[in-house]
Amino acid sequence: MLVQQILKSKAKPGVLTITSAATVAEAARILAANRIGSLVVSDDDGKTAIGILSERDIVRELAQVGVVCMEKPVSEYMTRKLVTCTGDTTVQELLTQMTEGRFRHMPVVEEGQLVGLVTQGDAVKAQLSELTMEKRALEGMIMGH
C-alpha cells in the first residue's frame, strides 16, 4: 500500500498548519481542540512545510523551562529538519522511517508542496486493512470460492 492511498482514505483531508510566529500556547490549543498530535509549521498558508511541532516538543520544553515556553514562538521549538515522504512511499518504508527516527507524524510533500500528513496510526490501520483483505482472499482460495 502507498501513502497516497492512505491520504485518500483519511476522514479529514488536508493538513492543519500553524505559522512559525504563533505562540506555543496557540499551538497547544489547536492540538487539543482537534485531538491531534502535531502541527506542520508553514508561513505560506500551508503550501510548504518549514517545520513540525508535536505534543512531545511542547511537553519536553515545559519540563525543561516551565510555562514560560508557552508564550514563545513556535519557531523556537519546532523541528526544522523535516523528514518527509511522497505519495509513492510504501507503508513499509514509512513505518521504517518513523521507527528509526522515533517520530509519529510525517508530512507528505510532492514537488515541494505540502499535500498531506500521515501518522503511525494511519500506517498501522492501512497495514491491518491490507492484512485483512489478504486473509479473506486466502480463506476464499482454501475454501474454493
Q: What is the DSSP letter of 87?
A: T
Encode pLDDT of 15-69 as tens digits.
999 999 999 999 999 999 999 999 999 999 999 999 999 999 999 999 999 999 9
Where are the domains positioned within the chain? 3-143
Q: Outline where DSSP puts E strands in 2-127.
A: 17-18, 38-41, 51-54, 105-110, 113-119
The pLDDT assigned to 123 comes to: 93
Q: What share of the chain is helix, strand, coil (3-state, %, to 5)?
A: 50, 20, 30
Q: Is pLDDT of 12 > 80?
A: no
CATH fold, domain 3-143, is CBS-domain (3.10.580)
The pLDDT assigned to 21 comes to: 98
pLDDT range class, residue 142, cuts 50, 70, 90: confident
d(CA 32, CA 118): 18
Encode pLDDT of 78-121 as tens digits.
999 999 999 999 999 999 999 999 999 999 999 999 999 999 99
The pLDDT assigned to 145 comes to: 66
Q: Show the CA angle centred on residue 86, arms to residues 80 and 88, nearest 5°.
A: 160
pLDDT, greater one: 142 or 84: 84
Grid coordinates representing 15 are: 493538513
pLDDT, greater one: 95 or 132: 95
